[in-house]
Structure 1
Amino acid sequence: MKISASAAKITAGTPLVARPDPSHTTWSRLEPLPTSDDVSESLQARVADPLWMLARQWQFNEFQGEDAGSPISAMLEMAGLPVTTLQHNTGAVAALALPPGASPVEAHVEHEQVLPVHPKLNAQAGQQLMRMLRAASLGTTVQALLDKYPATLAAPDDPVADTAGFVWNALLNQRAIDALALSGDLKDLGGSRPALEAFASDRGVPAGQIKAYCDLMERWALWLGELALDGTTPGASAYWEPQRLEYSFSLGAQGEGAPVRLLADEYTDGRLDWHTYTLGAATGAPAGPSDAFSVIPARPPMPATAHYLGMPADRYWEFEDGRVNFGMLGAAKSDLARLAVLEYALVFGNDWFVLPLTLPANALYRTTTFTVLDNFGIELPIPPAEWNMYEMSLAAGAPVERLSNTLYLCPKLDTLEGPPLEHVLMMRDEMANLVWGIEKRVQGTSGEPIDRKFESTRLSTTQTLRPPPDVSPVAGGALLQYRLQTPVAANWVPFLPVRKAGATPANWAIQLQRAVVTHYYQVTESRLSDPRNAGYSEFIARLRGNSFVETTPVQGGADNQLQGFMFHPRGSLLRLDPGAAVANDYLRVEEEEVPRDGIELKRSFNYARDAQGRGLLWIGRSKVTGRGEGSSGLKFDVVSRGKV
Structure 2
Amino acid sequence: MSTRLSAAAARITALGAEALQARPSVTSWSRLEPLPVADDIGLGLQAPLADPLWLLARQWQFNELRGEDAGSPVAADVRVHGLPLRTLLPPGGAPQPLDDAQAPIEALVEGERVLGAHPKLNAQAGQQLLRLLRAAGQRAAIGPLLRDWPAVLAAPSDAASDVRGFVWHQLLDGRSVDAAGLSAAWRDVHADAAAAAAWLAAHDLDAQALPPLLDRWLRWIDALALDPRSDSGASPCWQPARLDYAFGLGTAGTSPAAQIQAAAYTDGRLDWDDFTATRLPAAGWAADPSPTHAGPRPAVLHVSPGRALMPAQARWPGMPADRHWSFEDGRVNFGAIGAGRGDLARLALLEYALAWGHDWYVLPLTLPVQSLWQVGRLTVRDNFGLGVEIPPARNPDGTPWSLYALSRQGPAAASGGGDPLYLCPSLQAQEGPPLEQVLLMRDEMANLAWAIEQRVQGSSGDPLDRRDEAARLSVLQSVRGGGAGGLVHRLQTPVAPHWIPFLPVRRPGATPQQWSIQLQRGVVVQHLPVDTARLADPRQADLAAVIARLRAAPWVQAEPEQAGLQGFAFHPRGEILRERPATGAAGLATDFLRLDDETVPRAGIELRRAFNYARDARGRALLWIGRSKTTGRGEGASGLRFDAVERPGG
TM-score, scaled to structure 2: 0.86
Contact kept, 8 Å, 1:476 with 1:643, in 2: the verdict is no
**Alignment match of 1:305 (pick from 298, 313, 318):** 313
The C-alpha deviation readout for 1:65-107, integer Å capped at 9, x for no partner, is: 5542111111110011000101123xx3110001233221111
- Distance, in Å, in 2 between the alignment partners of 1:423 and 1:253 is 36
Match of residue 273 from structure 2:
275
Contact kept, 8 Å, 1:279 with 1:403, in 2: the verdict is no
Match of residue 572 from structure 1:
575
**Alignment match of 2:457 (pick from 422, 433, 443):** 443
Alignment of 1:627-642 (within 5 A): 627-642=633-648
| Cα distance change of structure 1 residues 335 and 155 upon mapping to structure 2, 3 Å threshold | closer
Match of residue 407 from structure 1:
421
Runs of 4+ in 1 over 6 A off after TM superposition: 42-48, 282-285, 475-478
| Cα distance change of structure 1 residues 490 and 314 upon mapping to structure 2, 3 Å threshold | same
Contact kept, 8 Å, 2:29 with 2:61, in 1: the verdict is no
Match of residue 147 from structure 1:
147
| Percent of aligned pairs with the same amino acid | 51
Match of residue 58 from structure 2:
56
Match of residue 15 from structure 2:
none
| Cα distance change of structure 1 residues 333 and 236 upon mapping to structure 2, 3 Å threshold | closer
- Distance, in Å, in 1 between the alignment partners of 2:560 and 2:417 is 63
- Distance, in Å, in 2 between the alignment partners of 1:67 and 1:283 is 39
**Alignment match of 1:509 (pick from 516, 522, 533):** 516
| Cα distance change of structure 1 residues 139 and 497 upon mapping to structure 2, 3 Å threshold | same
The C-alpha deviation readout for 1:566-591, integer Å capped at 9, x for no partner, is: 11111111111113311111111001
SS of the residue corresponding to residue 307 of structure 1 reads coil
Match of residue 397 from structure 2:
none
Alignment of 1:124-273 (within 5 A): 124-197=124-197, 199-200=199-200, 211-231=208-228, 232-253=230-251, 259-273=257-271
The C-alpha deviation readout for 1:355-393, integer Å capped at 9, x for no partner, is: 000000010111111100111111100011121431110
Alignment of 1:360-379 (within 5 A): 360-379=368-387
Contact kept, 8 Å, 2:231 with 2:582, in 1: the verdict is no
Name which of structure 1's ranges 537-546 and 473-482 shifts more when overlaid on structure 2. Answer: 473-482
The C-alpha deviation readout for 1:202-252, integer Å capped at 9, x for no partner, is: 66567xxx6443211110011112222223132211111111111111111
In structure 2, list runs of 5 or more residues that go unmatched.
1-25, 38-43, 283-292, 395-400
* Number of matched pairs: 596
Q: Does 1:354 align with 2:362?
A: yes
Letter in 2 for 1:128: Q
The alpha-carbon deviation at position 401 of structure 1 amounts to: 4.9
Contact kept, 8 Å, 1:364 with 1:408, in 2: the verdict is yes
Match of residue 530 from structure 1:
537
| Cα distance change of structure 1 residues 373 and 542 upon mapping to structure 2, 3 Å threshold | same
**Alignment match of 1:550 (pick from 540, 550, 557):** 557
Contact kept, 8 Å, 2:529 with 2:566, in 1: the verdict is yes
- Distance, in Å, in 2 between the alignment partners of 1:589 and 1:97 is 31
Contact kept, 8 Å, 2:603 with 2:633, in 1: the verdict is yes
Letter in 2 for 1:264: A
SS of the residue corresponding to residue 467 of structure 2 reads helix
Letter in 2 for 1:281: R
- Distance, in Å, in 1 between the alignment partners of 2:465 and 2:341 is 53
Name which of structure 1's ranges 599-608 and 46-55 shifts more when overlaid on structure 2. Answer: 46-55
Contact kept, 8 Å, 1:141 with 1:203, in 2: the verdict is no
SS of the residue corresponding to residue 402 of structure 1 reads coil
CA RMSD, 1 decimal: 2.9
Letter in 2 for 1:71: P
Name which of structure 1's ranges 384-393 and 409-418 shifts more when overlaid on structure 2. Answer: 384-393
The alpha-carbon deviation at position 507 of structure 1 amounts to: 2.1
The alpha-carbon deviation at position 478 of structure 1 amounts to: 7.5
| Cα distance change of structure 1 residues 310 and 564 upon mapping to structure 2, 3 Å threshold | same
| Cα distance change of structure 1 residues 123 and 499 upon mapping to structure 2, 3 Å threshold | same
Alignment of 1:430-469 (within 5 A): 430-462=444-476
- Distance, in Å, in 2 between the alignment partners of 1:283 and 1:337 is 34
Alignment of 1:288-327 (within 5 A): 288-327=296-335
TM-score, scaled to structure 1: 0.86
Match of residue 11 from structure 2:
none
Contact kept, 8 Å, 1:477 with 1:643, in 2: the verdict is no
| Cα distance change of structure 1 residues 513 and 39 upon mapping to structure 2, 3 Å threshold | farther
In structure 1, list runs of 5 or more residues that go unmatched.
1-29, 466-472
- Distance, in Å, in 1 between the alignment partners of 2:482 and 2:384 is 106
Alignment of 1:375-390 (within 5 A): 375-386=383-394, 387-390=401-404
The alpha-carbon deviation at position 132 of structure 1 amounts to: 1.3
Name which of structure 1's ranges 632-641 and 180-189 shifts more when overlaid on structure 2. Answer: 180-189
Alignment of 1:552-631 (within 5 A): 552-556=559-563, 561-580=564-583, 581-631=587-637
The alpha-carbon deviation at position 565 of structure 1 amounts to: 1.0
Contact kept, 8 Å, 1:258 with 1:286, in 2: the verdict is no
| Cα distance change of structure 1 residues 384 and 140 upon mapping to structure 2, 3 Å threshold | same
The C-alpha deviation readout for 1:266-318, integer Å capped at 9, x for no partner, is: 11111111000000218999611321121011221111111112222222343
SS of the residue corresponding to residue 535 of structure 1 reads helix
Letter in 2 for 1:133: L
Contact kept, 8 Å, 2:372 with 2:422, in 1: the verdict is yes
Contact kept, 8 Å, 2:470 with 2:498, in 1: the verdict is yes
Contact kept, 8 Å, 2:535 with 2:544, in 1: the verdict is yes
Contact kept, 8 Å, 1:479 with 1:643, in 2: the verdict is no
Letter in 2 for 1:605: F
Q: Does 1:418 align with 2:432?
A: yes
- Distance, in Å, in 2 between the alignment partners of 1:249 and 1:461 is 46
- Distance, in Å, in 2 between the alignment partners of 1:82 and 1:95 is 15
Name which of structure 1's ranges 366-375 and 279-288 shifts more when overlaid on structure 2. Answer: 279-288
Letter in 1 for 2:598: E
The C-alpha deviation readout for 1:583-617, integer Å capped at 9, x for no partner, is: 11111100111000011111111112222222221
- Distance, in Å, in 2 between the alignment partners of 1:610 and 1:634 is 49
Contact kept, 8 Å, 1:39 with 1:329, in 2: the verdict is no
Name which of structure 1's ranges 535-544 and 333-342 shifts more when overlaid on structure 2. Answer: 333-342
The alpha-carbon deviation at position 324 of structure 1 amounts to: 3.8
The alpha-carbon deviation at position 536 of structure 1 amounts to: 1.1
Name which of structure 1's ranges 298-307 and 64-73 shifts more when overlaid on structure 2. Answer: 64-73
Letter in 2 for 1:224: I
Match of residue 22 from structure 1:
none
| Cα distance change of structure 1 residues 155 and 303 upon mapping to structure 2, 3 Å threshold | same
Name which of structure 1's ranges 398-407 and 626-635 shifts more when overlaid on structure 2. Answer: 398-407
- Distance, in Å, in 1 between the alignment partners of 2:308 and 2:260 is 31
Contact kept, 8 Å, 2:257 with 2:297, in 1: the verdict is no
The alpha-carbon deviation at position 47 of structure 1 amounts to: 6.7
The C-alpha deviation readout for 1:433-459, integer Å capped at 9, x for no partner, is: 110011111111111111111100000
The alpha-carbon deviation at position 532 of structure 1 amounts to: 1.4
The alpha-carbon deviation at position 527 of structure 1 amounts to: 0.7
Letter in 1 for 2:578: R
Name which of structure 1's ranges 584-593 and 144-153 shifts more when overlaid on structure 2. Answer: 144-153
Name which of structure 1's ranges 452-461 and 65-74 shifts more when overlaid on structure 2. Answer: 65-74
- Distance, in Å, in 2 between the alignment partners of 1:203 and 1:242 is 41
